[in-house]
């Protein structure tokens, strides 16, 4: 038997073991990090080991790995397993294309392009726009920032110096925006963090005031980043109003939809991103609410040329055949690039746009179900905006951080905590496509019995 055939069999045995463990032991056994880093069993040595020994080790590693696809994982903005997307990703691993050229990626490049075309249409952005799959929302935000920088100061890229560029986002926006200002040479101190209102959306009056104050000082406002689904509360910025401001001052408008941008798939919830068609750049993560394997991030640009101008560089050894329109390497940050398109294409093709909308609708319904439970129970306090997939609450007067830690260390379930303004709370994220009411009921039961037994 060839080694690959043999290893495919090993894989299916290990996959079986993983699925069983997810059921029987949904929160992994925790090794103290000190012991994990020092475990001789996992050290790399001079001598080989045989397959049966290797399988044992891999099984043990599976046992010790947090089970993000189990029904007890509520900890992050991803979780669960959307099986059709998983299928597509397995194939992508086996095909192992690199997505820089049509020559190396072939039809895969066309599938990726189809994702951009269809996503632009759903977002209401012109089909003459373009896109690129990127390794995460943080990188999408970085690319948007670089496009905006080059638009406001076209020599900056070349000379490395220029105007003082100022960017604006809400105080609840993702932390990548701050880092990205540093990466881009625009300076972290030139990111203005604008206050949010009680609903978690940016205060547009404060935004305007801040922009005007920068103009007065001789700075050049170059980018406003709106968030569609803030990382903690899942709040939506008022996109239409922000677009008005960007138009008025001629500023690049990016919408960070890493968390909840996929509301574009839902007829019921796309109103939350009203005005999105006016964005210059927009990104969403299919590995969050849609349940595709990580990473699966779509970055879109209204203006195809701007995307290319910021990321193109000549490389005669690489771009040897086909025009630039067919070689995505001319608009990407990386050189070699993993195929993140096939998993989303497979999911989208199999379920249809309607099916993806249904995934989104079901998440919102389930979040409402959880919120209803909280509202009907006097032992709970609820926080956060109404239309959100982040269910923020406290139970009795338990300290949220302590309770989350206890749930985790006792192997009950994984959930995190967050804060908004002066409130600290537990944050139950409803993104796992495999969760139903049953898992939500189970979540509260487990939480209550763990809290009441302390
Ligand atoms: C998760 C998130 C990001 C970062 O996405 P990664 O894929 O983890 O890099 C950016 N913005 C928002 C609003 C997010 O929720």
> 111-138, pLDDT tens digit by residue?
999 999 999 999 999 999 999 999 999 9
- Determine contact, residues 245/208, Cβ cutoff 8 Å: yes
Q: Tell me the average pLDDT of the chain.
A: 96
Looking from the CA of residue 139, the nearest atom of ligand 1 is 9
pLDDT band at 270 (very low <50, low <70, confident <90, very high): very high
Instruction: Please compute the mean of the pLDDT values over residues 78-94 and round it to a whole number.
Output: 96
Q: Specify the residue with its C-alpha closest to ligand 1, atom 4.
A: 137
CA of 236 to the centre of ligand 1 (A): 14
CA of 297 to the centre of ligand 1 (A): 9
- Determine contact, residues 453/390, Cβ cutoff 8 Å: no
CA of 71 to the centre of ligand 1 (A): 22
- Position 250 pLDDT exceeds 90: yes
Q: Specify the residue with its C-alpha closest to ligand 1, atom 7.
A: 136
CA distances from 111 to 106, 107, 309, 422 (A): 9, 6, 23, 46
CA of 136 to the centre of ligand 1 (A): 7
CA distances from 187 to 73, 139, 146 (A): 37, 17, 13
Looking from the CA of residue 136, the nearest atom of ligand 1 is 7
- The set of protein residues with a Cβ atom below 6 angstroms from ligand 1 is 77, 136-138, 174, 176, 227, 229, 231, 256, 258-259, 285, 295, 297
Strand partners, 251: none
End-to-end CA distance of the chain: 56
Of 259, 295, 388, the one to substitute when testing ligand 1's pocket (max ligand atoms within 8 A of C-beta) is 259
Rama region for 28: left / alpha / beta (φ>0; ψ in -120 to 50; rest): beta
CA angle 66, 403, 75 (to 5 degrees): 35
pLDDT band at 321 (very low <50, low <70, confident <90, very high): confident
Q: Specify the residue with its C-alpha closest to ligand 1, atom 2.
A: 258
The DSSP code sequence of 338-397 is ---HHHHHHHHHHHHHHHHHHHHHHHHHHHHHHHHHHHT-TTEEEES-SS-SEEEEEETT
DSSP 422: T
The predicted-structure confidence for 153-185, as pLDDT tens digits, reads as follows: 999 999 999 999 999 999 999 999 999 999 999
Looking from the CA of residue 297, the nearest atom of ligand 1 is 7
Reading the block at residue 214, the tokens are: 């920068």
For residue 78, give the nearest of 284, 270, 254, 338 by alpha carbon. Answer: 284
What integer pLDDT is reported at residue 313 of this predicted model? 76
CA of 138 to the centre of ligand 1 (A): 6
For residue 307, give the nearest of 285, 287, 328 by alpha carbon. Answer: 328
- Determine contact, residues 325/130, Cβ cutoff 8 Å: no
The predicted-structure confidence for 177-207, as pLDDT tens digits, reads as follows: 999 999 999 999 999 999 999 999 999 999 9
Looking from the CA of residue 294, the nearest atom of ligand 1 is 7
Looking from the CA of residue 231, the nearest atom of ligand 1 is 15
Least confident of 27-36, 225-234, 321-330, 411-420: 321-330
> Distance between CA 279 and CA 60 in Å, rounded?
47
- Position 368 pLDDT exceeds 90: yes
Reading the block at residue 45, the tokens are: 């040595």
CA distances from 233 to 184, 396, 404 (A): 28, 20, 17
What integer pLDDT is reported at residue 238 of this predicted model? 98
What integer pLDDT is reported at residue 320 of this predicted model? 73
Say whether pTM exceeds 0.85: yes
Of 138, 145, 416, 427, the one to substitute when testing ligand 1's pocket (max ligand atoms within 8 A of C-beta) is 138
> Distance between CA 419 and CA 43 in Å, rounded?
39
Side-chain-side CA neighbours of residue 266 (13 Å): 21
CA of 291 to the centre of ligand 1 (A): 14
CA of 137 to the centre of ligand 1 (A): 4
Of 231, 260, 284, 293, the one to substitute when testing ligand 1's pocket (max ligand atoms within 8 A of C-beta) is 231
CA angle 395, 401, 405 (to 5 degrees): 100
Reading the block at residue 286, the tokens are: 């299919």
């Amino acid at each position: 038997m060839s080694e690959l055939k043999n290893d495919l069999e090993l894989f299916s045995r290990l996959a079986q073991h993983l699925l069983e463990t997810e059921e029987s032991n949904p929160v992994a056994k925790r090794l103290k990090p000190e012991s994990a880093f020092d475990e001789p069993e996992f050290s790399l040595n001079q001598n080989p080991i045989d397959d049966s020994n290797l399988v044992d080790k891999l099984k043990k590693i599976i046992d010790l790995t947090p089970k993000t696809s189990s029904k007890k994982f509520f900890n992050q903005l991803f979780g669960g397993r959307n099986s059709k997307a998983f299928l597509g990703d397995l194939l992508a691993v086996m095909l192992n294309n690199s997505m820089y050229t049509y020559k190396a990626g072939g039809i895969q490049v066309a599938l990726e392009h189809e994702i951009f075309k269809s996503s632009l249409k759903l977002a209401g952005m012109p089909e003459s726009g373009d896109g690129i799959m990127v390794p995460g929302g943080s990188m999408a935000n970085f690319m948007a920032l670089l496009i905006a920088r080059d638009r406001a100061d076209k020599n900056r890229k070349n000379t490395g110096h220029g105007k003082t560029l100022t960017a604006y986002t809400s105080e609840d926006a993702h932390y990548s925006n701050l880092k990205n200002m540093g990466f881009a040479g625009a300076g972290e101190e030139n990111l203005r963090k604008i206050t949010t209102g009680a609903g978690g959306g940016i205060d547009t009056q404060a935004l305007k005031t801040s922009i005007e104050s920068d103009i007065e000082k001789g700075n050049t406002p170059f980018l406003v980043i709106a968030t569609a689904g803030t990382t903690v509360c899942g709040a939506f910025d008022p996109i239409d109003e922000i677009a008005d401001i960007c138009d008025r001052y001629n500023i690049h408008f990016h919408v960070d939809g890493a968390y909840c941008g996929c509301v574009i798939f839902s007829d019921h919830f796309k109103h939350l991103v009203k005005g999105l068609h006016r964005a210059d750049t927009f990104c969403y993560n299919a590995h969050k609410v849609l349940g595709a394997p990580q990473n699966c991030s779509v970055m879109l640009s209204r203006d195809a040329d701007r995307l290319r101008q910021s990321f193109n560089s000549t490389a005669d050894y690489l771009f040897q055949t086909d025009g630039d329109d067919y070689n995505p390497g001319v608009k990407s940050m990386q050189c070699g690039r993993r195929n993140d398109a096939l998993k989303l294409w497979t999911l989208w093709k199999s379920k249809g746009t309607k099916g993806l909308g249904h995934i989104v609708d079901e998440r919102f319904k389930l979040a409402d179900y959880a919120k209803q439970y909280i509202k009907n129970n006097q032992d709970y306090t609820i926080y956060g905006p109404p239309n959100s997939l982040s269910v923020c609450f406290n139970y009795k007067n338990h300290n949220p951080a302590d309770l989350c830690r206890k749930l985790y260390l006792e192997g009950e379930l994984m959930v995190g905590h967050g804060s908004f303004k002066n409130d600290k709370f537990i944050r139950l994220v409803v993104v796992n496509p495999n969760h139903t009411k049953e898992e939500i009921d189970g979540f509260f039961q487990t939480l209550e019995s763990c809290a009441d037994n302390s």
